[in-house]
Amino acid sequence: MRGRSTIILALLALLALSLTPATAIAGRRGNASTPQDRASTHAYIQANSVLANAAAASEAPVQASILSFNQKLGQECPKAGAGSPQNEESQKASYEVAGALWSITYGANAASIRTFVAAVKPLRWSNPKITHLAQAYAKSLSELAALPLPNLCGDVRAWSASGFQTIPAITLSFDEHTEAIQGHTIPSRMLAPSARPADKRILATTTRLETKLEHTETVTGFNDWDSLLETLGLNQ
């Protein structure tokens, strides 16, 4: 098994975490929730529950799509990156491969993401930090759902044709774009003070589901990334 670089570890961790709890994010609690806080919290919890369940339901189809994509690479450009160095430039190529996994995964969930974004966009809380988190999360999901699938065969061949000296500009542009996408779901502890009793039960169920998704997607994501790199003959 090839050693994994820090940058790819971070990317694939974010791939799993983008639809899962950002429990490390600290937030201040207001003294009391307002009617708008309670209404927004209710709408967010409902929308996030639907999104998490849709993500869980899409796991098998997404995995099938990734397998098909890998087979396509194996037919069109097997070992196109054979002989490539293991350096900073190779990290850029392997980063693009990981970004392709984002494109497939979030593209498959585009419809449920659009529904979530439409529900979340009008929501506001008296705590501006919560509002910012909600809007940033919706924005990041929209960007991920619209992420184009990179032409890995063409890009790796172009890099190879340069004697592995020059990473294609389109690869650099893709990497910069995906690296800039940031967002996390609102931590449950920030929502709990404004949540209705029934919503708290849904929130707890959703959090458990998201934690399960995080574990499954992280393990699967590493395996998928490694398989694509192997097919293309790339290092980190």
pLDDT digits (tens, 9 = 90+) for 53-90: 999 999 999 999 999 999 999 999 999 999 999 898 89
Cα gap 43→41, rounded to integer Å: 5
Site of tokens 């003070």: 193
The structure's pTM equals 0.84
Instruction: Compute the average pLDDT of residues 211-235.
Output: 92
The two structure tokens encoding residue 122: 């009008």
User: Which of 218, 184, 231, 228 is closest to 59 using CA atoms?
Assistant: 218
Residue 44: is its pLDDT beyond 50?
yes
Cα gap 221→51, rounded to integer Å: 19
Residue 135: is its pLDDT beyond 50?
yes
Residue 137: is its pLDDT beyond 60?
yes
Instruction: Compute the average pLDDT of residues 131-143.
Output: 96
What SS3 class is residue 21?
strand
The runs of H, that is alpha helices, within the chain are: 6-17, 35-57, 59-76, 88-108, 110-120, 128-145, 152-161, 169-179, 188-191, 197-232
The two structure tokens encoding residue 91: 């990290």
Taking the CA atoms of residue 52, residue 53, residue 54 and residue 60 in that order, the dihedral angle to the nearest 10 degrees is: 110
Given pLDDT bands bounded at 50, 70 and 90, which one contains residue 23?
very low
Residue 28: is its pLDDT beyond 70?
no
Residue 204: is its pLDDT beyond 90?
yes
Domain boundaries, the chain: 6-18+34-232
Given pLDDT bands bounded at 50, 70 and 90, which one contains residue 25?
very low
Residue 182: is its pLDDT beyond 70?
yes
Cα gap 208→17, rounded to integer Å: 14
What SS3 class is residue 77?
coil
pLDDT at 217: 80
pLDDT at 91: 93
Angle at 1 between CA 72 and CA 66, to 5 degrees: 25
Residue 8: is its pLDDT beyond 50?
no
Instruction: Compute the average pLDDT of residues 170-192.
Output: 93
pLDDT at 24: 37
pLDDT at 218: 86
Residue 40: is its pLDDT beyond 70?
yes
Cβ-Cβ contacts under 8 Å for 10 (sequence gap 6 or more): none
Instruction: Count Cβ atoms within 10 A of the Cβ of residue 88 and give its class: 0-12 exposed, 13-18 middle, 19 or more buried.
Output: exposed
Q: What share of the chain has pLDDT > 90, as a percent?
A: 78
